[in-house]
Amino acid sequence: MAVTVNPERDVVATPMQRALREALYAGAISLGLFVLFIGLKTGQNISNELVLTTRWGLLVAVVVATAIGRFLYVAYGQPFLANQKIADVATGLLPASAASRFFQLPAFIVAVVLVVLLFALNNSLAGWVGPGAAGYLQFLRALSVIYVLACVIYYFRGFIHANFTKLGIAALILYPILVVAVLSLMSWSIVGGLQGSLKWVDNYGIQILIYVMLAWGLNIVVGLAGLLDLGYVAFYAVGAYAYALLGTQYGLSFWILLPAAGAMAAFWGVLLGFPVLRLRGDYLAIVTLAFGEIIRLVLINWREVTNGSAGISGIPKVTFFGLMTFNVSDPNYIAKVLHIAQSSAYYKIFLYYLILALALLTAFVTIRLRRMPVGRAWEALREDEIACRSLGINTTTTKLTAFATGAMFGGFAGSFFAARQGFVSPESFIFLESAIILAIVVLGGMGSLVGIAVAAMVMIGGTEVLRELDFLKQVFGPDFTPELYRMLLFGMAMVIVMLWKPRGFVGTREPTAFLKERKAVSSSFTKEGHG
Amino acid sequence: MNASVPMNDAILQVEHLSMKFGGLVAIGDLSFTAKRGEITALIGPNGAGKTTVFNCITGFYKPSEGMITLNRSNGSRFLLERLPNHEIPARAKVARTFQNIRLFSGMTLLENLLVAQHNKLMKASGYTILGLFGFSGYRKASAESVELAKHWLEKADLVDRADDPAGDLPYGAQRRLEIARAMCTGPELLCLDEPAAGLNPKESAALNTLLIDIKETSGASILLIEHDMSVVMQISDHVVVLEYGRKISDGSPQSVRTDPRVIAAYLGVDDEEVETVLTEVGDEDVIEQLDIGPDSAHGPGASSSFMAGPVSDTVGHSTGERITVAKGASKAEQVDAKSSTAPRKPSERATAKPKTPTAKPRGGSK
Ligand SMILES: Nc1ncnc2c1ncn2[C@@H]1O[C@H](COP(=O)(O)OP(=O)(O)O)[C@@H](O)[C@H]1O
Ligand SMILES: [Mg+2]
């Protein structure tokens, strides 16, 4: 081994030698890093004394895994990636890409068969192989589904890329219908299908769309105008409490309070904006962060009005435009009016379409505004504020409109959130929410609606998926809760995406006007703004 | 109001303008007039305060003292030192460019020119509300604004690249685009801060044509800061020479170029002629000084992050750019000193200026 460690030999070391050496280094570094984190664990015993438990086995496993991972990457991964770039001398063609090798027809067929089989045998599986193995099989099934979908997307990638927006909207509109249909088929009953769809429509669909809408709203402030706002959740809170308070106290309908909540949030945006927007960069970020915390503290401490940290419950549900309601006891309950079976899924599906419509409204307004003078001024402000002033643009009002517009959409989302939960408390509006929304905007590529939607889907959907990984309990013991690792994974995903695509998923910028042809502007020219 | 010049003759009157930064007097008691329809050049060595004059005229700095009057062709008159920054281009119709180019580099050329027509389009779109619903008035106005942008792109010879990002243009084209963008605001006074800096001779010639064209066809008067003497001598009608924030000469290009104070301070006429003056003055450093061309380092500032500094840091100077001041202090004063043959004391300005390199002490040269 002494030979490979010698730096003089660096030039002539084969990939194998290099890999061995780097694996050793990686192992040593991870040993140094984790010896205290993983190797030792402090706890309390029965008599409240601090006890130190050692976990050398786990430490060794982590260190060895790190070393092996580094070895495989340097010995096989790097040469493979390098070879992908070398064209064949005879034909001049690049080698088959990793993706086209990964997505092949035989594998696709196997996956489809697996999916069909496992779905068909779903109910009898646990009986045959025991609950433990059934968990793994369900995971295998999920993987196969993902593989099949990925194959389809891969083969139609040209078409999908060309029509991404239309396909995306169509998929979003069909999503609840598809979920109910598939689940009804699986359980052979509509009611069962409706009941089973709750999780998919609510936890995945609505949850993701709320974040999509919030991120699109924040995108106006951060992505277009380049103002770093760390307290966006404050406007979300204003919207939520506006609906919660006015709805419970005065019994006003959601359809009146939705615009009112938006207007109120916009008003608070202007109110905050006036003193704050002359600040720039770090200062603006800190003051907006403080504003978010102030709103939360007011909500906690102004007990007479907000009921403190206990929150407000019994927030009225949204009605079907006043025609039908979703309360079983009401005479015009939707199932009674339409003579269909009772189910709580109708409300969730209705909410899904409601938030979808609100999110699409946000996108539509953003797209429209970008092509208007005010939207162009926002982007110009992000590029160069001084040049803006030299062209006679009132930068203060321009920033204020960006702030107010962003806040308004936050307010809409907030009142929707209150209606969906039926309960609001200050706990829902912590700084972490602002950070997550901002992270989605940055990951998606500032200014790009599609990128942000994808980022929200990956980030929020990804963390929801963690709840599904119950079979991991079999590996790590019954105490293991994958949800607890969501922030860790969130952070890791962010680091990876930022290394891979520093400007987010979609780094290019669509010009708002063109003379001859519309060319996307490369991210190397756009700026992030000074705050 | 000082009415020594008839109102519609002078577009800009600067009277007793002073600008102090702490102890540093960047401009001291400067008065000059720019006539309507003319190209007025403001010249002077680096650090003379030319950019500061521009920043005062366009409202980026509030002058410590003095009055800046702008007379529009419709008879209205504005005191620029009292107007807020953004109203100077909007109401007084003064447009400017920057020494370190400030384009919206991530936006296309066309978008750059549309942003310049912001106020007009804002009104046409009913402050966004009517435009959001696609009112025909706005659509007409926006088509017109594209036409105007196209007109200026053609003049600046950039129409082929209309849909490319501005940051992708070569340097000379960026300069022309910045001028075109300023013209899209429909200005009556166009202030250009070193438009020829860093241009090659061909680009410089293209710029001259553009400026002459603007002067003759658009009716805008031009105030020009320039280091390139070929540009100044060819196209300007009137020259004001600054040195250390004070006016040392004012007149036609011909009269300025023969003014010994100017020659000593700054101008390269003929090498021999300069040398005669210099030997009279007795400062060899001036010869070195004259070899220094305009600095080409005035590129657009590097992309900055959220953590970038405050605005005032970036007005007029790109980050990292330091103004280098002439080695000796005022050459014009040296001429005066020579003629009066009195030993000169270092002026209080020179000591107040921390950036003055004092590598070689002047040592009372005569
Ligand atoms: N914002 C400022 N703060 C302090 N000093 C400044 C500022 N702006 C300009 N100056 C100083 O004023 C003097 C004149 O600068 P400037 O107008 O940029 O010169 P020029 O454009 O003629 O080269 C310089 O000494 C410069 O350092
Ligand atoms: Mg200057």
Q: Which residue has the higher pLDDT, B362 or B172?
A: B172
**Please, what are the domains in chain B?**
1-93+186-366 (3.40.50.300), 107-183 (no CATH)
| Residue A514 resides in a domain | no
- Burial B13-49, CB ≥16 within 10 A → b, else e: bbbebbbeeeeebbbbebebbbbbebbbbbbbbbbbb
Please indicate, yes or no, whether residues A167 and A80 belong to a single structural domain of this protein: no
Q: What are phi and psi of A52, to 5 degrees?
A: -110, 120
Span B246-272, pLDDT tens digits:
888 888 888 877 777 777 776 444 445
- Ligand 2 centre to CA of B212 (Å) is 22
Q: What's the whole-number mean pLDDT along residues B278-283? A: 48
Of A468, A493, A525, the domain-final residue: A468
Residue nearest to atom 5 of ligand 1 (CA): B21
CA end-to-end distance (rounded Å), chain A? 53
CATH number for the domain spanning A259: value is 1.10.3470
Please indicate, yes or no, whether residues A307 and A216 belong to a single structural domain of this protein: yes
Q: What is residue B14's predicted lDDT score, i.e. its pLDDT?
A: 87
Q: What is residue A12's predicted lDDT score, i.e. its pLDDT?
A: 59
Kindly report which listed range (A189-193, A371-375, B130-134, B170-174) carries the lowest average pLDDT score.
B130-134
Q: What is residue B259's predicted lDDT score, i.e. its pLDDT?
A: 77
* Radius of gyration of chain B measured on its C-alpha atoms: 21
Residues having C-beta closer than 5 Å to ion ligand 2: B 51, 99
Query: Which residues from chain B sit within 8 angstroms of residue A277, using beta carbons?
Result: none
| Residue A515 resides in a domain | no
Half-sphere exposure of A103 (CA within 13 A, CB side): 15
Please indicate, yes or no, whether residues A93 and A235 belong to a single structural domain of this protein: no
Confidence grade of residue B333 (pLDDT, cut at 50, 70, 90): low
Query: Residue A290's CB: how many other CB atoms inside 10 A?
Result: 14
Please indicate, yes or no, whether residues A51 and A197 belong to a single structural domain of this protein: no
> CB-based contact (8 Å) between A384 and chain B?
yes
Of A41, A76, A98, the domain-final residue: A98
Please indicate, yes or no, whether residues A82 and A168 belong to a single structural domain of this protein: no
Q: What's the whole-number mean pLDDT along residues A18-25? A: 90
Please indicate, yes or no, whether residues A78 and A192 belong to a single structural domain of this protein: no
Q: What is residue A189's predicted lDDT score, i.e. its pLDDT?
A: 75
Please indicate, yes or no, whether residues A252 and A398 belong to a single structural domain of this protein: yes
Please indicate, yes or no, whether residues A276 and A389 belong to a single structural domain of this protein: yes
Q: What is residue B138's predicted lDDT score, i.e. its pLDDT?
A: 76
Q: What is residue A56's predicted lDDT score, i.e. its pLDDT?
A: 87
| Residue A518 resides in a domain | no
Q: Which residues pair with B240 in a beta bridge?
A: B42, B250
| Residue A415 resides in a domain | yes
Share of chain B above pLDDT 90, in %: 3
Amino acid at residue number A288: T
Q: Which residues line ligand 1 (CB under 6 A)?
A: B 21, 24, 26, 44, 46-52, 312, 316, 323, 353, 355
pTM: 0.79
A36: containing domain:
11-98
Which ligand lies nearest to the CA atom of residue B356 in the structure?
1
Span A190-230, pLDDT tens digits:
777 777 777 888 888 899 999 999 999 999 999 898 888 89
Of A416, A434, A468, the domain-final residue: A468
Could you tell me which chain B residue has the CA closest to the CA of A517?
B163
Please indicate, yes or no, whether residues A246 and A378 belong to a single structural domain of this protein: yes
Q: Nearest CA to A237 among A418, A437, A402?
A: A418
Check residue A51 and report its DSSP letter.
Answer: E
Share of chain B above pLDDT 70, in %: 67
> CB-based contact (8 Å) between A228 and chain B?
yes
Q: What's the whole-number mean pLDDT along residues B23-37? A: 86
Q: What's the whole-number mean pLDDT along residues A54-82? A: 88
Kindly report which listed range (A115-124, A303-312, B10-19, B250-259) carries the lowest average pLDDT score.
A115-124
Q: What is residue B314's predicted lDDT score, i.e. its pLDDT?
A: 40
Please indicate, yes or no, whether residues A175 and A291 belong to a single structural domain of this protein: yes
> For residues A449 and A367, is the Cβ–Cβ distance under 8 A?
yes
Kindly report which listed range (A107-116, B44-53, B156-165, B321-330) carries the lowest average pLDDT score.
B321-330
Q: What is residue A188's predicted lDDT score, i.e. its pLDDT?
A: 74
Number of domains in chain A: 2
Distance CA B338, CA B277 (A): 11
Please indicate, yes or no, whether residues A84 and A205 belong to a single structural domain of this protein: no
Please indicate, yes or no, whether residues A85 and A186 belong to a single structural domain of this protein: no
Q: Nearest CA to A183 among A318, A343, A339?
A: A343
